[in-house]
Amino acid sequence: MSSYDQLQVLARFILPEDIIDNFDIVSIEQQGEVLHICLDEQQILPIGYTAKSISSNGFCPESEVYDFPIRDRKVVLHIRRRRWRENDTGKSILRDLALTFKGTRYTVSFAAFLKEVFGFTPYNSSIS
């Protein structure tokens, strides 16, 4: 097994399934007690479109999403969603991915965990 394959296996244990299935890890950096993981959406066509009907149109601005801590380090996912353009209309399109719990900046699984432990889901605050 190559080192790349080994890293992919490890990433599957650390990152949410929706993230690892739809994004490529661009970089990982530790800044103090925070682990920053930068991710770019893979070039997978939105459902209902073909390569002839749309074209890639760069990325949306980066979003920060908070996930489970790893080894006592806060984890911030820096996510860049791919933007698509309908060739006929020029309309911008994004794939339908539910990456965060509604109204928060937490991954769905991390928000569910916090809700179970604390009895509520914190809204739009960074992890202190």
Model pLDDT for residues 63-99, shown as the tens digit of each residue: 999 999 999 999 999 999 999 999 999 999 999 898 8
Give me the percent of the chain exceeding a pLDDT of 90. 62
Give me the mean pLDDT over the 36-46 stretch: 95
What backbone phi and psi angles, to 5 degrees, belong to 14?
A: -95, -45
Q: How confident is the model at residue 124, as a pLDDT?
A: 53
Q: How confident is the model at residue 123, as a pLDDT?
A: 61
What backbone phi and psi angles, to 5 degrees, belong to 107?
A: -60, 155
Helix (H, G, I), strand (E, B) or coil at 3: helix
Burial of 65 (0-12, 13-18, 19+ CB in 10 A): buried
Quote the pTM value.
0.84
pLDDT: which is higher, 4 or 77: 77
Helix (H, G, I), strand (E, B) or coil at 56: strand
Mean per-residue pLDDT over the chain, rounded: 89
Q: Which two tokens stand for residue 70?
A: 């790893």
pLDDT: which is higher, 125 or 104: 104
Q: How confident is the model at residue 103, as a pLDDT?
A: 85
Q: How confident is the model at residue 120, as a pLDDT?
A: 65
Amino acid at 87: N
Q: How confident is the model at residue 4, as a pLDDT?
A: 77
